[in-house]
Each structure stands twice: as structure tokens, then as C-alpha cells.
């Protein structure tokens, strides 16, 4: 691919990155759930919420930040760009801090997807799936 046509997705605003990241992360989670044998729409929706809700993404992002060396400096920057974005909307049933951290999570996923860092994005998504499953079974 001609380098002159490539975009520097790191310059995109955090909310635009989050817009893409929300969609791509949800697709991976839906694929995971269907591959686990879940097929009923109501069951799928309920199961997906454990991974994709603002509360879940807030939890996962905080866990990622707590794990020393998990995220690169650029990944942290993309998270912060989304977290600090000035959104004129907010999620239902969560406080603004939870919503902003979740937006940062989505921004990170969007950045990795747009930069075609698929292997890294999938590595982090697998980490998230494992973390949610461990949390689910640990309780």
C-alpha cells in the first residue's frame, strides 16, 4: 500500500476512535459468544452486556491500567484521548466517570483497529474475555 495514502489514526479525535472501537469490540464479543454455543437472542444480549456495557468496559480498563506494562505509551495516550473527549451524551444508568473511562476503552480499540494492529487488538480482547470470565466464575 502506498504510504502517502495512509492516515495517522492517532490524530483522530477520541470520540471518533471510540465510535469505531465500540462497534469492533462488540463484533468480537458477539463472535466469541456465538462460538461458545450461545444462540438465543435474549441470552446473547444478556451475556454480551457482561463484556460491552459501560460498567464492564470501565472495569476492564481499570484492570488494564493496574497491570504494569500491559499497555504501551501510545495505547495509554489513545485511551486518554477517548476518556477526555467532550461528549454531549452519556450512558444510561452510569455516572460520568464510568462513562468516560468506557469511552477511553473504546477509543483504544478503535485506534488499534484503524491502525490495522489486529494482532494486538485481538490480544487485548482475549485478555478482556479472560478477565470477565474469571470474574464471573470467581464470584
14-72 confidence digits (pLDDT tens):
999 999 999 999 999 999 999 999 888 888 989 999 999 999 999 999 999 999 999 99
Whole-number percent of the chain with pLDDT over 90:
73
**pTM score of the predicted model:** 0.89
At the fourth CATH level, the homologous superfamily of domain 13-138 is: Ribonuclease III domain (1.10.1520.10)
Query: Residue 69: which region, alpha, beta or left (left: phi > 0; alpha: psi -120 to 50)?
Result: left
Give CA–CA dist 72/93, Å, rounded. Answer: 31
Q: Is position 22 annotated as part of the catalytic site?
A: yes
Percentage helix, strand, coil, to 5, in the chain?
75, 0, 25
**The one catalytic residue among 8, 22, 95, 135:** 22
The burial class, CB within 10 Å (0-12 / 13-18 / 19+), for 88 is: exposed
Amino acid at each position: 500500500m502506498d504510504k502517502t495514502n495512509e492516515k495517522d489514526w492517532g490524530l483522530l479525535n477520541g470520540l471518533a476512535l471510540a465510535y469505531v472501537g465500540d462497534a469492533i469490540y462488540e463484533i468480537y464479543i458477539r463472535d466469541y459468544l456465538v462460538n461458545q454455543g450461545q444462540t438465543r437472542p435474549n441470552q446473547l444480549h444478556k451475556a454480551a452486556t457482561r463484556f460491552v456495557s459501560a460498567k464492564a468496559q470501565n472495569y476492564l480498563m481499570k484492570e488494564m491500567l493496574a497491570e504494569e506494562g500491559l499497555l504501551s505509551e501510545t495505547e495509554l495516550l489513545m485511551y486518554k484521548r477517548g476518556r477526555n473527549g467532550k461528549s454531549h451524551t452519556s450512558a444510561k444508568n452510569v455516572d460520568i466517570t464510568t462513562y468516560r473511562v468506557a469511552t477511553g476503552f473504546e477509543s483504544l480499540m478503535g485506534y488499534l483497529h484503524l491502525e490495522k494492529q489486529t494482532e494486538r487488538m485481538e490480544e487485548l480482547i482475549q485478555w478482556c474475555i479472560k478477565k470477565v470470565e474469571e470474574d464471573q466464575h470467581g464470584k
